[in-house]
Amino acid sequence: MQGFLDPAILFFVFGLFAGAVKSNLEIPAQISRFLSLYLLMALGLKGGFALARSGLTPEVAMTLGCALVLAVLVPLAGYALLRRFVSGYDAAAIAATYGSVSAVTFITAVQHLETQGIAFGGHMAAAMALMESPAIVMAVLLANRVRQRASLAAAGAHVPSPGATGRLLHESLTDGSQLLLLGAMVIGLLSGADGEAAMQPFTGDLFKGMLAFFLLDMGLVAARNMGELRGKPAWLLAYAVAAPPVHAGLALLMGVVLGISAGNTALLMVLAASASYIAVPAVVRHAIPEARPSLYIGMSLGLTFPLNILLGIPVYTAVAKHVLA
C-alpha cells in the first residue's frame, strides 16, 4: 500500500485519470523530452557514483552477464511463441518490444528501492543499457529472415538494403539516450565522491520531483494508448499481462542460483518484465514496416507499462526481498 501512496506513483495515476476523461491537460513534447534526458543523466551519474564507491566486484560481472543473457533469451522465446499466432513481422516487433527495456520503469524502480531502503549496485544502470539493443538487432534479423523465406523481395515488397539495415542497427546501438546514460555513468565513476557532492542538488533534491512530473506525462500518454487495445485478440492482451511476470521469474531464478543481492535481483526482474515503448518503436517503424504499431505499442504502453508501474515494481521488489534477503 505504501508504494501506491508515493507521490510519483500518485501523479502517474492522476495522469491516467486525466487521460481517461479526455482532459486537455498536456505536457509539451519538448518539456517531456527534457525530463526524459534529465532522468537518464541523473540516473547515470548516481550509478557512476555508486560504482565508484563499490568498485568492480564478481557480483557486478555476474549481474551484467545475467542482463545480457536475458536480453537474448526473452526476445527469442517471445518470437518462438508469438510466431504461432501472428505474422513473423508482428512476432518480431512484439518480441523486440518485450525483449528490450523501459528506462522509465527502471528509474521508477530505482526510486522505489531507495524509498524502501533496499541497497542495489550502481552498475544496474549499465545492465539497463546492455538490455536495450540486442532485442532490436534480433528483430531486424528475424524480419529479414521472414522476407527471404517468403520470397517477398521478388514480389517488390519492402526489403531494406544491407546498407539501410546497417544504419538501423547503428542507430539502435548509438541511440542518444543510451549514450547519455552510459556517458553520465562514466563521468560519475571518474569524478567519484567529489563529483557526487558537487552534483547532489541535481541528482538528489530535484530527482523525485522531476520523476513525478514525468510520470504525470506518462500517465496521460498511457491512457491515450489504451484505445489501441480495442478489438485485439484476448490472447495478445493475456501475453501483455502474463509475459512480464514470467520474464521476471526467469531473472529471479538467475538471482537465486548466482546469489545476487535482493536489490540487484529486483532491478533485474523489473528490467526483464518491462517493455520498450520508445527505442524499439522508433527503429521497428522503419525496419519492419509490415508490423502493426497498434499491436506492439498498444500492448507495451497501454497495458504492460501501467501494470508494471502500479503493481509489478512493488511485487517484484517484495518477492526478491523475501527470497534473497
pLDDT at 54 over 80: no
| Residue 301 belongs to a domain | yes
| Residue 244 belongs to a domain | yes
pLDDT, residue 160, reads 52
Highest mean pLDDT among 28-42, 43-57, 128-142, 252-266: 252-266
Instruction: Give mean pLDDT, residues 50-73.
Output: 87
pLDDT at 102 over 60: yes
Confidence of residue 33 (pLDDT cuts 50, 70, 90): confident
Q: Are 62 and 264 in contact (CB under 8 A)?
A: no
Buried b (16+ CB within 10 A) or exposed e, 182-214: bebbbbbbebeeebbeebeeebeeebeebbbbb
Note down the domain range covering 199. Answer: 29-151+158-324
Cα–Cα distance for residue pair 47/53, rounded to 1 Å: 10
Half-sphere CA count of 317, side-chain side, radius 13 A: 25
| Residue 298 belongs to a domain | yes
* CATH code for the domain of 240: 1.20.1530.20
187: left (phi over 0), alpha (psi -120 to 50) or beta: alpha
Cα–Cα distance for residue pair 309/299, rounded to 1 Å: 14
Counting the structural domains of the chain, the total is 1
Confidence of residue 152 (pLDDT cuts 50, 70, 90): very low
Grid coordinates belonging to 92: 518480431
pLDDT, residue 139, reads 85
Radius of gyration of the chain from Cα atoms? 19
| Residue 313 belongs to a domain | yes
Instruction: Give mean pLDDT, residues 198-210.
Output: 88
Q: Are 302 and 225 in contact (CB under 8 A)?
A: yes
Highest mean pLDDT among 154-158, 220-224, 306-310: 306-310
Backbone angles phi, psi at 289, to 5 degrees: -65, -15
Cα–Cα distance for residue pair 243/112, rounded to 1 Å: 22
Which has more confidence, 30 or 166?
A: 30
| Residue 294 belongs to a domain | yes
Query: What's the mean per-residue pLDDT of the chain?
Result: 86
pLDDT, residue 134, reads 86
| Residue 102 belongs to a domain | yes
pLDDT, tens digit (0-9, with 9 covering 90-100), for 138-149: 888 888 888 777
| Residue 12 belongs to a domain | no
pLDDT at 153 over 50: no
pLDDT at 1 over 50: no
Confidence of residue 167 (pLDDT cuts 50, 70, 90): low
pLDDT, tens digit (0-9, with 9 covering 90-100), for 252-293: 999 999 999 999 999 999 999 999 887 787 778 777 888 888
| Residue 3 belongs to a domain | no
